[in-house]
Amino acid sequence: MASSRKITLRSSDGESFEVEEAVAVESQTIKHMIEDDCADNAIPLPNVTSKILAKVIEYCKKHVDASKAEDRVNDEDLKAWDAAFIKVDQVDQATLFDLILAANYLNIKSLLDLTCQTVADMIKGNLFPVRNEWLNFTFSIANRELVLVCLTEWVAHRRLFCS
Amino acid sequence: MPTLVNYGGEDQFFGGGSLCTSSIDLDRLYSMGSSMDMYCPPHKRARVCGSYAVSSYEYEGEHLSSIEELPDECLFEIFKWLPGGRERSSCACVSKHWLFLLSNMRRTDLSGEVDKSAKEDKETMTSSSGDTEMVSCDVSGRLEGDGHLTRCLEGKKATDVRLAAVAVGTNGRGGLGKLSIRGTSSTRAVTNIGISAIARGCPSLRALSLWNLSSIGDDGLVEIAKECCLLEKLDLSHCAFVSNKGLIAIAENCRDLISLNIESCPKIGNEGLEAIGRCCPRLQSISIKDCPLVGDHGVASLVSSSSSVLSKIKLQGLNITDFSLAVIGHFGLAVTSLVLGGLRSASEKGFWVMGKAQGLKKVSSLTIASCHGITDVSLGAIGRGFTNLKQMCLRKCLFVSDAGLITFSRVASSLENLQVEGLDRISLGGVIGVISNCEMKLKSLSIANCMGIKDLLEGSPVLSSCPSLRSLSIQNCPGFGSASLAMVGKWCPHLEHVDLTGLCGITDAGLSPLVENSEAGLVKVNLRNCLNITDEAVSTLVRLHGGTLELLNLDGCRKVTDASLVAIADNCLLLNDLDMSKCGITDSGVSLLSSAGHLSLQVLSLAGCSMVSNKSMPFLKKLGGSLIGLNLQHCRSISGGVVELLAESLWRCDILS
């Protein structure tokens, strides 16, 4: 808020991104690096590609702006933006998983929650997909024993609460 | 709607009955089709159809940045958001890796519904205790049920995979209350991983029983201790690697422990017991058997600290000395049931002090087995000191003689039930003495395997009658013959239950005084293997006691023939359990029995009656109207086909053949 210091983030493929400090510290990892005074030059992020870093920055920017706005952006609007951001047409699953990895590495809780919840919803919607363009679960037949065991246990417990 | 009815017949499910109802909508699974066959025929093999197999293989070729490449911590974050048990169970089916990841998630780690409800009704959240464990993961907001389910995993089912599946299945659902795992000596499939999964998934576990699991150790128990704070009963048997560390962890965290049972755990010793004594004030029942490291220190500190409520103590095969007995004698103020067996290091003095200490005034049931410290002197002290003793059982205490037993029965003023077994120094004099001296309170006397008893040779000693004795059982004492029985029978007029199993020496003449003198009416008579009993004795018996006789066992009485069945049919009104195994009865006897309209037998055994043939089938069918159990084993003249026909028509009856 006070200082609009610019921080430079360098992705794994060498591209540099300049962002405001407020945006950068959405990431706890970066925040700690700044506090430890490692941020004089660019902060290298060897685990994040430029494509993903761009998306992450877009997300953080939006969330920082949303909390800063004079008339606070409606929670609903922000949620809608998040949904659009993560919407599966635009984000292919490889990107989605990379976003998860990045959010985990950069320790951005809200992004991590958003992406993980999305995947969880996708799992919920498609348990044993045959042809699924977004998810590629490989269920080997060797797991049929597991299937029997797990579903039996679930059925047994559900039976009690069925009525 | 497809059902899983035939699967898992071995499992014990709390509710019983069939496994599945049509409301299960694992639609996705079934929409895969009829191709993915979940019906398990009784052979219990799943058949996954070929077409499914093919389609899953179509993906093998491409390189995918698949979800499985995510590190565990990211998968964990994803699983956190899975909304319900069904999704979690389904994900657990993907691979063992996912199964174990999911099974290690505690209920508090799941944020699925909790967060949503947090945003929707913040008021409810703040008004509750704020303890996330209390908040339900169910959208309807109802609180978790607290542990209604019981699972018992035996043999091949005792594996880590199964335990993890149980943990995933119950997580967020209502909780496992009672878990038993029965391994075999070669079971390696249950390890600390499985136990930890249960610990995290089932925090409402109340009773845990682990038998024969040599591949679990302290780490598993420590996890249980950390997560399952409501644990009330713990049962460890033959767990070779569980040591004091695990037991101490349980003691410190499971303060509500009520019952502890440890058998053959060679690494558990005094420190563990001392911790239990110190930390578990609600402990009511303790049983320790065959643990070589357990000694006086452990037992004494256990008994003396939780003295306020400890009511059942069982110590068997331990190296404890007189000191422990003295401590029990002084501090066992609430003890009602005491079992001491195989205490090799305890001497006469210890038992004597235990009796003298006057602390065990509430003990109503005492069992002492194989303790050479029980002598006439110490037995007497116990008889005097245990003022409330109602039931006493002495087994293989070879130093007890007639005098000791008689004194005991005289001074134990509350004694109602006395059982002695394997006391070879007892003679007939001792039996007579007990009966005469029983102070009018003894209701039940049982003598078994006492080889020192020899038959009465001359005269008839003066006995005072024992009107209180209701049940007399003399089993397998080969020296106890007709003369002795006749004499005993004369002095016990109110007998109702008589068990003379294995007394091959008795004859009709020996039995008749007992039968004739019984004023109250005999209810249960067991003459198993009394080879010399004939129809005459049986006829007299049923003639005099037909109005009260409910159970008659003539197993092995070869001289008994159809004439007895005639007498039974004529005289017995209340008989519901009849055993005529190996008797000399034939089809006509069975027919007579079936024609007795007033008889409604519930249990009938004709095992080994080779003269009963297929002709008896209609009679058995008639009897079967009331039968719930029928034993036709070794009936050589009855063919298998007839047995099957009988089984079909007597659907309520359990037929052994």
The model's confidence at residue B351, banded by pLDDT at 50, 70 and 90, is: very high
How does strand B36-37 pair with strand B47-48?
antiparallel
Strands (E), chain A: 6-10, 16-20, 43-44
Residue B309 belongs to a domain: no
> Which of B11, B35, B65, B151 to probe by mutation at the A interface, max A CB count within 10 Å?
B65
At B435 the pLDDT is: 86
Half-sphere exposure of B143 toward its Cβ, with a 13 Å CA cutoff?
9
At A81 the pLDDT is: 85
Residue of A nearest to B15 (CA): A160
Residue B241 belongs to a domain: no
At A3 the pLDDT is: 56
The model's confidence at residue B10, banded by pLDDT at 50, 70 and 90, is: very low
CB nearest to B89's CB, from A136, A141, A154: A154
Region of poorest pLDDT, from A89-98, B99-108, B281-290, B343-352: A89-98
Between chain A and chain B, how many beta carbons pairs sit less than 8 Å apart? 178
CB atoms within 10 A of CB B449: 17
Residue B418 belongs to a domain: no
* For residue B471, pLDDT beyond 60: yes
At B376 the pLDDT is: 93
At B459 the pLDDT is: 64
B86/A152 Cβ within 8 A? no
| Residue A148 touches partner B, C-beta closer than 8 Å | yes
At B3 the pLDDT is: 38
Complex ipTM above 0.85?
Answer: no
A128/B36 Cβ within 8 A? yes
The model's confidence at residue B404, banded by pLDDT at 50, 70 and 90, is: very high
Last residue of a domain, one of B108, B124, B140: B124
At B339 the pLDDT is: 96
Residue B102 belongs to a domain: yes
Mean pLDDT of chain B: 81
Residue B599 belongs to a domain: yes
The model's confidence at residue A70, banded by pLDDT at 50, 70 and 90, is: low
CB nearest to A149's CB, from B40, B80, B161: B161
Nearest alpha carbon to residue B335 among B406, B385, B405: B385
At B273 the pLDDT is: 93
| Residue B247 to residue B69: CA distance in whole angstroms | 39
CB nearest to B170's CB, from A93, A116, A157: A157
C-alpha distance from B110 to closest chain A C-alpha (Å): 12
At B602 the pLDDT is: 92
Q: Is B564 helix (H, G, I), strand (E, B) or coil?
A: helix
**CA B506 to chain CA mean position, Å:** 35
A93/B87 Cβ within 8 A? no
Last residue of a domain, one of B96, B124, B152: B124
pTM metric for this prediction: 0.76
- Percent of chain B with pLDDT strictly greater than 70: 82
Structural domain containing residue B51: 2-124
| Residue B573 to residue B240: CA distance in whole angstroms | 56
Over range B363-387, report the average pLDDT.
93
| Residue B416 to residue B409: CA distance in whole angstroms | 10
At B171 the pLDDT is: 67
> pLDDT, tens digit, for every residue of B472-485?
999 999 888 888 88
> pLDDT, tens digit, for every residue of A87-135?
755 667 778 888 889 999 999 999 999 888 888 887 776 644 433 433 4
The model's confidence at residue A73, banded by pLDDT at 50, 70 and 90, is: low
The model's confidence at residue B34, banded by pLDDT at 50, 70 and 90, is: very low
| Residue B330 to residue A136: CA distance in whole angstroms | 70
> pLDDT, tens digit, for every residue of B612-635?
888 888 888 888 888 899 999 998
| Residue B22 touches partner A, C-beta closer than 8 Å | no
Domains of chain B: total: 2
A140/B99 Cβ within 8 A? no
Over range B101-120, report the average pLDDT.
62
Last residue of a domain, one of B97, B124, B151: B124
Confirm if B313 and B320 have CB atoms less than 8 A apart. Answer: no
Residue B653 belongs to a domain: yes
At B173 the pLDDT is: 61
| Residue B234 to residue B465: CA distance in whole angstroms | 48
Over range B268-293, report the average pLDDT.
93
Q: What residue type is assigned to position A123 of the chain?
A: I
> Which of A149, A160, A163 to probe by mutation at the B interface, max B CB count within 10 Å?
A149
Residue B360 belongs to a domain: no
| Residue B620 to residue B338: CA distance in whole angstroms | 47
More confident residue, B271 or B80: B271
The model's confidence at residue B9, banded by pLDDT at 50, 70 and 90, is: very low
At A125 the pLDDT is: 66
**Chain B residues within 8 A of A144 when measuring between CB atoms:** 46, 48
| Residue A136 to residue B66: CA distance in whole angstroms | 6
| Residue A51 touches partner B, C-beta closer than 8 Å | no
At A1 the pLDDT is: 45
Q: A 80-99 residues with CB below 8 A of B?
A: 93-94, 97-98
DSSP conformation class of B107? G
> pLDDT, tens digit, for every residue of B64-81?
356 777 888 888 888 888
* For residue B128, pLDDT beyond 60: no
Per residue in B471-505, is it b (16+ CB within 10 Å) or e — as a string? bbbbbbbebbbbbbbbbbbebbebbbbbbbbbbeb
**Chain B residues within 8 A of A113 when measuring between CB atoms:** 77, 81
| Residue A124 touches partner B, C-beta closer than 8 Å | yes
**Chain B residues within 8 A of A150 when measuring between CB atoms:** 89-90, 92-93, 99, 165, 168-169
Over range B419-443, report the average pLDDT.
86
Region of poorest pLDDT, from B139-148, B332-341, B637-646: B139-148
At B112 the pLDDT is: 53
The model's confidence at residue B364, banded by pLDDT at 50, 70 and 90, is: very high
Region of poorest pLDDT, from A65-79, B309-323, B611-625: A65-79
H/E stretch holding A68: helix A50-68
Over range B461-465, report the average pLDDT.
72
A138/B68 Cβ within 8 A? yes
Region of poorest pLDDT, from A148-157, B145-154, B331-340, B595-604: A148-157
| Residue B548 touches partner A, C-beta closer than 8 Å | no
At B148 the pLDDT is: 77
B70/A97 Cβ within 8 A? yes
| 3-state DSSP of B500-541 | CCCCCCCCHHHHHHHHHHCCCCCCEEECCCCCCCCHHHHHHH
CB nearest to A147's CB, from B65, B81, B93: B93
At B48 the pLDDT is: 39
Residue B397 belongs to a domain: no
CATH classification of the domain holding B573:
3.80.10.10
> pLDDT, tens digit, for every residue of B512-571?
888 888 887 899 999 999 999 999 999 999 999 988 999 999 999 999 999 999 999 998
**Chain B residues within 8 A of A93 when measuring between CB atoms:** 65
At B348 the pLDDT is: 93
